[in-house]
Amino acid sequence: MSTLVALAIGLAAGLHAATWGMFKDVPYENFSWRTYARSPIIGMIVAVCVAAAGDFPSTSAAASAVLFGLTYVIERGIVEFYKTFLREENQEKYSIPMQLSVRGRVVTRRRTRLVAGAAYIVGVLAVVFAIDAVGRHGTEGLVVVLIVGSLGGWISAFGGAWKDAPVEGFQPFKFVRSPLVALGYALALASMTTNAVYAAMGALGYTVATLETYKTFFKPSVPRGKFAGKEIRFPEWLERRYRFVPLYVVIWIGMVVVNVAALAGDHRGLL
């Protein structure tokens, strides 16, 4: 895949993630170009590396659609891993701790967080290798997709429940939402790629993008769980943040067009 195309896909994925994150946070934390630029920069680096190392032989709509999903989930994984296990930050400003916590209590020892982070990486890699093994040895395409399609979503579901449930309580529908949406996207991506890992993890990327869009822009007056009950310190941004919405919409339209073209195209996939 062309490096310029990969850069464009990474930029789009990063801007998409940065925009919904900014939209929800700025009334409480204020706006920072440095923070806003973080996800686009990481997204471009990730997309170029994945395109170079992975099996993306062309700039077809299918390859672009799959790469967007993969870039999205990897960028989100990097940022959330940093926030959870590496970053040192005062957690008093949050209703739900962003650093690693156990039953709502922040783990303050850095060494403990690093060990937990290493274990988390091992767990995620184990899921990825399991998906790859099923994809390589599965005999029926649909069966393979049904088995592995929601696995990425379960990673998100368990991580979210671990962080949110001690404060908000366990919510069964919220817990199964990510796996169900991920399965739907995996069925679509499985027609675009023969790689089960690409389909499953790319589906998780689209799942995050979709659910965060719903929570952010369809419920704009509902604060993020981490700021629930906290004072709005920068009310001027309640209106200013809407200036970024057109960019967000353009990215969504672009990816919908790419995915529709990919689904309509003639190419080989798991299904």
pLDDT of residue 228: 78
The two three-digit tokens of residue 12, written as one number:
């789009």
Query: Where in the chain are the domains?
Result: 3-264
pLDDT of residue 116: 93
pLDDT of residue 152: 76
pLDDT of residue 7: 96
The two three-digit tokens of residue 132, written as one number:
């790859």
Q: How many Cα atoms sit within 13 Å of 84 on the Cβ side? A: 22
Using pLDDT thresholds of 50, 70 and 90, give the confidence band for residue 168.
low
- Residue 140 confidence (pLDDT) above 80: no
Predicted TM-score (pTM) of the model is: 0.90
Average pLDDT over residues 23-50: 95
Mean pLDDT computed over every residue of the chain: 87
- Give CA–CA dist 103/110, Å, rounded: 18
Which among 46, 43, 57 is positioned nearest to 13, based on CA atoms?
43
- Give CA–CA dist 123/1, Å, rounded: 30
pLDDT tens-digit series, residues 49-107: 999 988 776 778 999 999 999 999 999 999 999 999 998 888 888 888 888 888 778 88
Contact 83, 111 (CB under 8 A): no
Question: Token pair 């908000």 is at which residue?
Answer: 168
- Residue 217 confidence (pLDDT) above 60: yes
Q: How many Cα atoms sit within 13 Å of 47 on the Cβ side? A: 31
Average pLDDT over residues 100-115: 87
Which DSSP helix (H) or strand (E) runs through 134? helix 110-137
- Give CA–CA dist 152/127, Å, rounded: 8
69-93: b (≥16 Cβ within 10 Å) or e: bbbbbbbbbbbeeeebbeeeeeeee
Q: Most confidently modeled of 12-26, 152-166, 174-188, 224-238?
A: 12-26
- Residue 109 confidence (pLDDT) above 60: yes
Dihedral of the alpha carbons of 99, 154, 211, 28, in degrees to the nearest 10: -10
- Which of the two residues, 132 and 256, has the higher pLDDT score? 256
Bridge partners of residue 101, in order along the sequence: 106
> Residue 196, Cβ neighbours under 10 Å: how many?
28
- Give CA–CA dist 44/242, Å, rounded: 24
- Residue 139 confidence (pLDDT) above 60: no
- Give CA–CA dist 168/152, Å, rounded: 23
Write the CA distances from 271 to 62, 140, 176, integer angstroms: 13, 9, 24
Q: List all residues 6 or more positions away from 81 whose beta carbon is below 8 Å from its beta carbon.
A: 117, 120, 121
Bridge partners of residue 102, in order along the sequence: 105
Using pLDDT thresholds of 50, 70 and 90, give the confidence band for residue 19.
very high
pLDDT of residue 164: 67
